[in-house]
A and B are shown apart, each in its own frame.
Chain A
């Protein structure tokens, strides 16, 4: 089995190295062939692994690969833990990655960094696989940081653009804030949980520590598990972009669209969700931590959804939708519904990748114009993109029988069933969120695919598309837009094929997966729920009577009708009576500003943290180092010595007469004193 898992993890790495180091020699075609081959091998064997777990033939695999470090008699190994949770992630990561690899052939075809791009996305796949296959915290952190690195490289892929290299630095630093907490959490695990960082050892040591307290502040006892879990969750907040560390994700859209789909929607951002699910034996022991998770998740789910409503950039709408959906997953974690969270990770990966790739296809069709106000009526020109995007949107808003319905409805049910104090608030946030999701999703859908063909207008707003191909190559994603005589066109098959292939699971996977994943024993022994304290999931299990019953039941429940209301409102606002949104905008101008400015988070963070630390640094440098240490002490000492010497130097004139005079004066003084003493005695 070891060689199988090594093959799954390493084949994308091999592709990445070949494309990255030798891409200049082997050319474009070979670069995409070798990387796609690598990922395809991973994907095929991942499916095999998942199949084995689904049919109950596989056993949990937990073994070291090589010793990374030994300290104090304890051995740290790079090692694999492959269980059902890993298997799900393996399939999600490799299958979405494979689709994105194929799609990239079309999307990046004119880009000079073609080989580099393939190398990066394969490297990402490898890092993500190492993250999900890890059997210990150190390797988890390795993968955690490695995916962050690749995300950084890919957001800044078009390194000439000031916005892109600003966004990638911001993304890396905000993630580092999360990692800061994460690493301290790992530190506490190592210090208190039996001196080991292997999952199995740590989980085994945890029950004995239920009532252990530590004093972070002298005299104040805090539960060890609560502190540890919250610190670990801070890491998840960074990677999964939860409030208040969400600010990097919308800006990450500066990267090419394929990576928005792969990294910033389907896989990397769900690493935090995966991590908390993996740590369920720890999180289950701290209700405080779960409440914190509920609050952070519900704020993200609702308030990031609101922001999606005012965006005009097609990718940014999807980005805010991703933030909001990550909030849903986080809330599920807080409600101890880890399996439901993982279920939503999976369905969301498919339909959100689909939506992003669909958006990318629209962007290609529109010649790199991302502004929805310039689109409209595209369904005629891009039929495959249209249908698949509709499927993605329906899945996202939770249409019965679609995959998103099963996962999202299960989250709402789970929160409803949770007994934690924060769950009531989270429930309200999620239910309102359903309306918001439906509204912004179909606002986008109507603006892009229906209504007037607006690219005919507004021609002066973006310069005419000339045939300067040099420029096109370098800045493939820049705002270009269609020339007056051009119409949008459907994308090539390498782009539409992944759309079609992703649309299938977006529809079907929920129906088939809900029973085994959420209510079966697929995750038995992997995800741990303390049913006595958090009975929500077991209560729900009793009420579950299959996917058909669940879909029928939804007809009488609030979320479905809110979703329908959302779609209807979007239809009225953007199809029937487009004057209404403008009117609302002017009536509630302050609210609109607040939303357009994203609650002013960027401004505040920039002013406080970026400017603040630079001001502090300047203060330390100019005052501390230059004025006090160097100016006063170091050069001051030198000057003091200099000044003293200057005085003393006067005595060494080198003239005999001055020495003679001094001598005579001295002798006279001594004689006088001597006589004075004699006389006085």
Chain B
């Protein structure tokens, strides 16, 4: 039954998306919603066997599928996952379900198209995580831009056109260079786009550096790393709630995943040489962006900046070299941070969405004393705010803790700068929480707010259980990634000169 599992995770949501589109106009919106929900559930259902059927003792690619696609160029439909990518496919399928539920009543116009965009994007993202052929990866990687572009551009806020074009151009610019790099590697590998074949290529250092820069520009924009991050706050602010959830939870992860799958194993020597540069940018992201987040007046911008700061931990962890060895703590910490941030940021954006639906404002100053009217909501948001501040027993702690522990082993000052997030992260998150949630009822709009309905409660509760579960039992998924990370570290340790 596992033969075509990965194909199912890719195509189930896409087919469901097309079915949803087929329902047509808004007069059949309820039908579109239910089909979308069924599709998202089916998408999650077919991705869960990846976890249960995963062989912890097998370090290689699992659930592999390979069929010729474009013979002339030796391009294959080649899918497979290791303990790293498997987790992201599940995270993505899960997030899609949350997003479909989150947009249930909130989206009233072009419902079918909205739901379809998310479902199709979900399939494309799963494809990007599963692809083992560079061109296939490129197609999925670029393809998922289109639904996101539409989501922001059609269902977004007042400056949606500026934001969507900025998002599109920013990310497209980087990925074109990646395509050039792929074509170079194709010829080096004897006319093959097999990513695993790329991993074994011998490449001169100067070439490695050039290729690294190409990959870097592509992935750094996605992560996003400082200073190519400015598209993210704009995109988040304009995107509808669901768009922000996917953007933060999944899209950013593709960038970090790219470093992991391409830059590090294909170009280990260049990665090592340029690691100080990446580390510097990551630490700037943690500290600089942490301070920027502090002074935001727009809740979504604040959480967007907080995402950039948290992703700084990811890129920091991925490039913690001692000699030629990556630090295992830091790499696994980066991966945990990616998954955890997926849940926490999605939850934070959903919380903001819940308030936005009631008051139609993202400004912190327009709120105050929400807890008086929405105590259940406030309790949930407290949990997510604490997770965002990295409180132990929530998922937010595990990744940050592991990266900091790894960084101390490499260089005390890396850890010192990174650990400052303990203070800044708490400061910006809880200061926002204080101004929005605590206090006496701030104004008439807040006075009219109603506590969460059943649908919102369910979404919040599922996210809360996940965040707590990951914080208390991280072993459940960290054990899946050990072998893949060990392989990566061993692979990166070998020079390819």
Residue ranges of A at the interface with B (Cβ–Cβ < 8 Å): 67-72, 138, 141-142, 145-146, 149, 152-153, 156, 159-160, 162, 165-166, 169, 172-173, 176-177, 179-180, 183-184, 186-188, 190-191, 214, 216, 613-614, 616-618, 620-621, 624-625, 629-630, 633-634
Can you spell out 18 A-B residue pairs with CB atoms less than 8 angstroms apart? A68-B472, A71-B478, A72-B329, A145-B391, A146-B393, A160-B440, A172-B426, A176-B422, A180-B419, A184-B408, A187-B405, A190-B409, A214-B412, A614-B295, A617-B293, A620-B291, A624-B288, A634-B231
B386 adjacent to A149 (CB under 8 Å): yes
Measured between beta carbons, the chain A residues less than 8 angstroms from B404 are 183-184, 187
Contacts A149-B386, A169-B431 given; does A630 touch B295 at CB 8 Å = no
B292 adjacent to A184 (CB under 8 Å): no
Measured between beta carbons, the chain A residues less than 8 angstroms from B482 are 70
Complex Cα–Cα for A454 and B392 (A)? 49
Measured between beta carbons, the chain A residues less than 8 angstroms from B391 are 145-146, 149
* Best-buried of B292, B431, B474 by chain A (most CB within 10 Å): B292
Check B230 for interface membership: any CB of A closer than 8 A.
Answer: yes
Measured between beta carbons, the chain B residues less than 8 angstroms from A630 are 230
Q: For A159, give its contact among B293, B393, B439 (CB under 8 Å).
A: B439
A191 adjacent to B408 (CB under 8 Å): yes
Task: Report the interface size class on chain B.
Answer: 35 or more
- How far, in Å, is A249 (CB) from chain B's closest CB? 18
Contacts A72-B328, A159-B371 given; does A67 touch B475 at CB 8 Å = yes
Measured between beta carbons, the chain B residues less than 8 angstroms from A72 are 328-329
B402 adjacent to A165 (CB under 8 Å): no
Apart from the given pairs A71-B332, A160-B369, A160-B439, 17 other A-B contacts in the complex at a CB distance below 8 Å: A69-B402, A72-B329, A142-B393, A153-B382, A165-B438, A180-B423, A183-B401, A184-B408, A187-B404, A190-B405, A190-B408, A617-B293, A620-B288, A621-B292, A621-B295, A624-B227, A630-B230
A617 adjacent to B434 (CB under 8 Å): no
Measured between beta carbons, the chain B residues less than 8 angstroms from A614 are 294-295
Measured between beta carbons, the chain B residues less than 8 angstroms from A152 are 430
Check B494 for interface membership: any CB of A closer than 8 A.
Answer: no
Check B372 for interface membership: any CB of A closer than 8 A.
Answer: yes
A618 adjacent to B392 (CB under 8 Å): no
Interface positions, chain B 448-497, Cβ under 8 Å from A, are 472-475, 478-479, 482
Question: Which B residue sits closest to A164, measured CB to CB?
Answer: B438
Contacts A160-B372, A180-B423 given; does A146 touch B408 at CB 8 Å = no
B478 adjacent to A70 (CB under 8 Å): yes
- How far, in Å, is B21 (CB) from chain A's closest CB? 33
Measured between beta carbons, the chain A residues less than 8 angstroms from B328 are 71-72
Main secondary structure of the interface of A (DSSP, over half): helix
Check B427 for interface membership: any CB of A closer than 8 A.
Answer: yes
Can you list, as one digit per residue, whether each of B247-290 has a CB less than 8 Å from chain A (1) or not (0)? 00000000000000000000000000000000000000000110
Can you list, as one digit per residue, whether each of B403-418 has a CB less than 8 Å from chain A (1) or not (0)? 0110111001101100
Complex Cα–Cα for A94 and B457 (A)? 35
B409 adjacent to A191 (CB under 8 Å): yes
Complex Cα–Cα for A173 and B422 (A)? 9
- How far, in Å, is A449 (CB) from chain B's closest CB? 36
- How far, in Å, is B233 (CB) from chain A's closest CB? 8
A617 adjacent to B294 (CB under 8 Å): yes
Check B209 for interface membership: any CB of A closer than 8 A.
Answer: no
Check B420 for interface membership: any CB of A closer than 8 A.
Answer: yes
A173 adjacent to B478 (CB under 8 Å): no
- How far, in Å, is A552 (CB) from chain B's closest CB? 49
Check B166 for interface membership: any CB of A closer than 8 A.
Answer: yes
A184 adjacent to B398 (CB under 8 Å): no
- How far, in Å, is B373 (CB) from chain A's closest CB? 12
Complex Cα–Cα for A71 and B475 (A)? 9
10 A-B pairs closest in CB distance: A187-B408, A617-B291, A617-B295, A165-B438, A142-B392, A617-B294, A159-B438, A72-B328, A621-B292, A191-B409
- How far, in Å, is A232 (CB) from chain B's closest CB? 13
Measured between beta carbons, the chain A residues less than 8 angstroms from B386 are 149
Complex Cα–Cα for A419 and B288 (A)? 46
Measured between beta carbons, the chain A residues less than 8 angstroms from B329 are 71-72
- How far, in Å, is B217 (CB) from chain A's closest CB? 13
A146 adjacent to B392 (CB under 8 Å): yes
Complex Cα–Cα for A166 and B408 (A)? 33
Complex Cα–Cα for A159 and B430 (A)? 13
Question: Which A residue sits closest to B169, measured CB to CB?
Answer: A638
A179 adjacent to B422 (CB under 8 Å): yes
Measured between beta carbons, the chain B residues less than 8 angstroms from A187 are 404-405, 407-409, 415, 419
Measured between beta carbons, the chain B residues less than 8 angstroms from A621 are 292, 295-296
Complex Cα–Cα for A159 and B332 (A)? 39
Contacts A159-B439, A173-B426, A187-B415 given; does A70 touch B475 at CB 8 Å = yes
Measured between beta carbons, the chain B residues less than 8 angstroms from A177 are 423
Measured between beta carbons, the chain B residues less than 8 angstroms from A162 are 439
Measured between beta carbons, the chain B residues less than 8 angstroms from A190 are 405, 408-409
Question: Which A residue sits closest to B291, measured CB to CB?
Answer: A617
Complex Cα–Cα for A624 and B287 (A)? 13
Interface positions, chain B 382-397, Cβ under 8 Å from A, are 382, 386, 391-393, 397
Question: Which B residue sits closest to A185, measured CB to CB?
Answer: B408
Measured between beta carbons, the chain A residues less than 8 angstroms from B479 are 70
Complex Cα–Cα for A625 and B391 (A)? 29
B438 adjacent to A173 (CB under 8 Å): no
Question: Which A residue sits closest to B369, measured CB to CB?
Answer: A160
Question: Which B residue sits closest to A158, measured CB to CB?
Answer: B438
Q: For B292, give its contact among A186, A191, A214, A620 (CB under 8 Å).
A: A620
Q: For A188, give its contact among B227, B408, B439 (CB under 8 Å).
A: B408
Question: Which B residue sits closest to A165, measured CB to CB?
Answer: B438
Measured between beta carbons, the chain B residues less than 8 angstroms from A165 are 434, 438-439
B291 adjacent to A68 (CB under 8 Å): no
- How far, in Å, is B155 (CB) from chain A's closest CB? 24
Question: Which B residue sits closest to A635, measured CB to CB?
Answer: B166
A141 adjacent to B392 (CB under 8 Å): yes
Complex Cα–Cα for A266 and B264 (A)? 52
Complex Cα–Cα for A244 and B391 (A)? 24
Contacts A173-B426, A180-B423, A190-B405 given; does A616 touch B291 at CB 8 Å = yes
Contacts A67-B475, A162-B439, A621-B292 given; does A184 touch B230 at CB 8 Å = no
- How far, in Å, is B171 (CB) from chain A's closest CB? 13
A625 adjacent to B230 (CB under 8 Å): yes
- How far, in Å, is A403 (CB) from chain B's closest CB? 34
Measured between beta carbons, the chain A residues less than 8 angstroms from B293 are 617
Complex Cα–Cα for A227 and B67 (A)? 58
Measured between beta carbons, the chain B residues less than 8 angstroms from A179 are 422
- How far, in Å, is A136 (CB) from chain B's closest CB? 13
Complex Cα–Cα for A148 and B147 (A)? 43
Question: Which A residue sits closest to B482, measured CB to CB?
Answer: A70
Q: For A156, give its contact among B407, B424, B438, B478 (CB under 8 Å).
A: B438
Q: For B423, give its contact among A68, A176, A191, A616 (CB under 8 Å).
A: A176
Complex Cα–Cα for A191 and B478 (A)? 20
Q: For A634, give its contact among B166, B423, B427 (CB under 8 Å).
A: B166
- How far, in Å, is A608 (CB) from chain B's closest CB? 14
B292 adjacent to A180 (CB under 8 Å): no
Complex Cα–Cα for A670 and B383 (A)? 76
Interface positions, chain B 154-194, Cβ under 8 Å from A, are 166, 170
Complex Cα–Cα for A621 and B302 (A)? 12
Complex Cα–Cα for A26 and B184 (A)? 69
Complex Cα–Cα for A313 and B21 (A)? 67
B475 adjacent to A68 (CB under 8 Å): yes
A617 adjacent to B405 (CB under 8 Å): no
B474 adjacent to A69 (CB under 8 Å): yes
Complex Cα–Cα for A633 and B230 (A)? 11
Measured between beta carbons, the chain B residues less than 8 angstroms from A70 are 475, 478-479, 482
Measured between beta carbons, the chain A residues less than 8 angstroms from B371 are 159
Measured between beta carbons, the chain A residues less than 8 angstroms from B294 are 613-614, 617
Question: Which A residue sits closest to B435, measured CB to CB?
Answer: A165
A176 adjacent to B426 (CB under 8 Å): yes
Question: Which B residue sits closest to A181, measured CB to CB?
Answer: B419
Question: Which A residue sits closest to B371, measured CB to CB?
Answer: A159
- How far, in Å, is A157 (CB) from chain B's closest CB? 11
